Amino acid sequence: MPKSTIKNPADYILPLHMNGLAGRMLYMPPSKANKKREILLIYGHHASLERVFSLADYLTRYGSVTVPDLPGFGGMEAFYKIGEKPTLDNLADYLASFVKLRFHRKRITIMAISYGFAAVTRMLQRYPEIAGKVDLLVSVSGFTHKDDFAWKKSSKIMLGGLAWFCSYRLPSSAVKLLILRAPIIKGLYRAAEKKHPKLKDTTSEERGKKLNFEVKLWKINDFRTYAHVSFRGITMIPFEAHVDLPVYHVAVDGDHYFDSVLVEQHMRQIYKDFTMAKTKMPSHAPTLVASAKDIAAFVPPTIQRLLLKKL
């Protein structure tokens, strides 16, 4: 009987202890020994190592892949445990510490998703010595400014106000206790499944798997951190510090989150150069239930060619 080639995320996950917080780290060696690129993959703010595992696995054809948990996400302990808030500066400092400890003087390729790219940008602004070690910087649906969101002003005010309110301890605890329950979470997703990018045009079996995974995500992620980060994202105004690196931005064709014109405008104000690679992705970020075709969309030909270049 042929041996299964399906990889189990648990086989590649290691414990991670950083800045007094306990979490996990995903490390996958390159699929071919001659691939020397060191890829650091940073997920967004509603994610886990398991959610980006399929993308990490795909990237091993270009080199080794490392994915650290972020405080408050993926089941990692939150900044609140050590008396800190999940500010963009604190997250940038955390990432800088991880890069220095994990990669030392090695050159690295950074690929960051959504809010993860905002955190990487702040890290590169605060630690220019790390920017000097980056051989390739890729944004996947990333953003750097509050105006990048393609929502109506009224929606931003309503969602921002709700996120601000839930970023406090008592409201966030109430939401966790009363609303973040499996039947309620599934019911809310099912109510919007015809329009929701993660659920529309999927089979009944796929929807079931995705719903179960979303329930797990909402339960393992710290909701207070989620609310604080959401509020800060909606109100974000970046530092003016220049980063002496070109950025390659993977933009979703018809993205319902971001305005690609404004994303480019704001990234050009920060980075040395900007190149956009448009793609048709099935969702804003990778999902646990993803085919090879789905994952390839996150790494369009422009990015593939850059990753294949010899270092």
pLDDT at 237 over 90: no
Domain that holds residue 82: 9-152+238-308
Write down the pLDDT at residue 188: 86
Around Cβ 104, how many Cβ atoms within 10 Å?
Answer: 8
Structural domain includes residue 190: no
Write down the pLDDT at residue 294: 74
Mean pLDDT value of segment 97-104: 96
Sign of CA dihedral 26, 27, 28, 34: positive
Q: What are phi and psi of 188, to 5 degrees?
A: -65, -40
**pLDDT-derived band of residue 308, with 50, 70 and 90 as boundaries?**
very high
Q: Could you read off the pLDDT of 38-48 as tens digits, one per residue?
A: 999 999 988 99
Write down the pLDDT at residue 126: 96
**pLDDT-derived band of residue 288, with 50, 70 and 90 as boundaries?**
low
CATH code, 33: 3.40.50.1820
Place of tokens 């106000």: 161
**pLDDT-derived band of residue 253, with 50, 70 and 90 as boundaries?**
confident
pLDDT at 2 over 50: no
Sign of CA dihedral 210, 206, 40, 118: negative
Residue 17 and residue 101 in contact, taking contact as beta carbons nearer than 8 Å: no
Write down the pLDDT at residue 292: 59
Q: Which two tokens mark 140?
A: 């996947």
Residue 160 and residue 231 in contact, taking contact as beta carbons nearer than 8 Å: yes
Structural domain includes residue 281: yes
Q: Which parts of the chain fold into alpha helices (H)?
A: 53-59, 88-103, 115-126, 128-131, 153-166, 169-178, 182-191, 204-220, 223-234, 260-270, 292-296, 301-308
Structural domain includes residue 300: yes
Q: Which two tokens mark 253?
A: 């064709």
Structural domain includes residue 196: no
Task: Quote the number of domains for the chain.
Answer: 1
Structural domain includes residue 166: no
Structural domain includes residue 198: no
Residue 253 and residue 280 in contact, taking contact as beta carbons nearer than 8 Å: yes
pLDDT at 9 over 70: yes
Structural domain includes residue 133: yes
Q: Which parts of 52-195 fold into alpha helices (H)?
A: 53-59, 88-103, 115-126, 128-131, 153-166, 169-178, 182-191
Q: Could you read off the pLDDT of 101-153 as tens digits, one per residue?
A: 999 989 999 999 999 999 999 999 999 999 999 999 999 999 999 999 988 88
Write down the pLDDT at residue 1: 40
Mean pLDDT value of segment 157-177: 96
Structural domain includes residue 246: yes
Stretch among 85-99, 195-209, 250-264, 272-286 having the lowest mean pLDDT: 195-209
Please tell me the distance from the alpha carbon of residue 251 to that of residue 186, in angstroms, as a whole number.
29
pLDDT at 309 over 80: yes
Q: Which of 98, 130, 144 is nearest to 237 (CA)?
A: 144
How does the average pLDDT of the chain come out, rounded?
Answer: 90
